[in-house]
Amino acid sequence: MTAARALPNETLLHLAGELLTPTPEGALWWAARRLLVVSDLHLEKGSNYAAAGQLLPPYDTGATLARVEALCARLQPETILSLGDSFHDRQSEFRLPPPYADRIRALTAAHDWVWIEGNHDPDPPAHLGGRAAKVLRLDGLVFRHEPEGEAGEIAGHLHPVAKVAGRGRAVRRRCFASDGARLVMPAMGAFAGGLNILDTAFSSVFPEGCMAFAMGEGRVYSLPRRHLIPDVRTGGASSGGWRL
């Protein structure tokens, strides 16, 4: 797979006959439909961890919402799809500080907002606006949370990251993973972890391998598979134990 011809600092992807733009913030822009896709926001992950005794700073929700708000201001989408795990757990929506809840309601009121059900948040947050769907099909594309390998599929869940080595050091970045027939979105949540796209969890989605489109400063970079390296734990084990 190769990126389509693009403007300077812009990467374009062809998927099921549609032209899509991955953004450096980790969203996907479908200009023909004025549709913005975000995935795995994991709102209130910090407060979930704090309740368990891991005192992460409570700023992840604000930082994640700021990214979404900036994209909306720049692109002016008509529709926004949040591809599941928008909230880190079933109680996250109720732990939201009122200012954050108000910001979410402003987004859902200004756009046709669709909450795709995820494994962390199967119940839609009705009091925050928007509408819910398990799977959404538009033209030749199908949007769901957990990838099944269907042609034209855009999914999340796996939190793909790419790792490359160069100039004496390794760089690890969140990325879009695609083989030209299907695509897995990066997690946008500020505290969301990541799984190397060379991990076996991606094999059933991309049986012939895929390219990485890595999020950089101000642009997205296409990385051929031959340039990618795996994550290695102490003792040589792969990252297959990472929790989704």
Distance CA 17, CA 8 (A): 22
Task: Give the CATH number for residue 68.
Answer: 3.60.21
Q: What is the pLDDT of residue 243?
A: 53
Does residue 72 lie in a domain region? yes
Distance CA 70, CA 85 (A): 20
Does residue 33 lie in a domain region? yes
Q: What is the pLDDT of residue 180?
A: 94
Does residue 244 lie in a domain region? no
Give me the number of domains the chain comprises: 1
Q: Which domain holds residue 150?
A: 13-226
Does residue 241 lie in a domain region? no
Which 3 state secondary structure label does DSSP give 144? coil
Q: Which residues contact 59 (CB under 8 A, 6 or more apart)?
A: 46, 190
Q: What is the pLDDT of residue 86?
A: 93
Pair 216, 181: CB distance under 8 Å: no
Q: What is the pLDDT of residue 49?
A: 65
Helices and strands, number each (H, E), in the chain? 4, 16
Does residue 27 lie in a domain region? yes
Does residue 190 lie in a domain region? yes
Q: What is the pLDDT of residue 8?
A: 53
Nearest CA among 107, 126, 119 for reference residue 83: 119
| Intervals of the chain under pLDDT 50 | 1-7, 234-242
Pair 26, 188: CB distance under 8 Å: yes
Does residue 90 lie in a domain region? yes
* Digit-coded pLDDT (tens) for 28-57: 999 999 999 999 999 988 776 666 767 777
Does residue 233 lie in a domain region? no
Q: What is the pLDDT of residue 122?
A: 81
Q: What is this structure's pTM?
A: 0.89
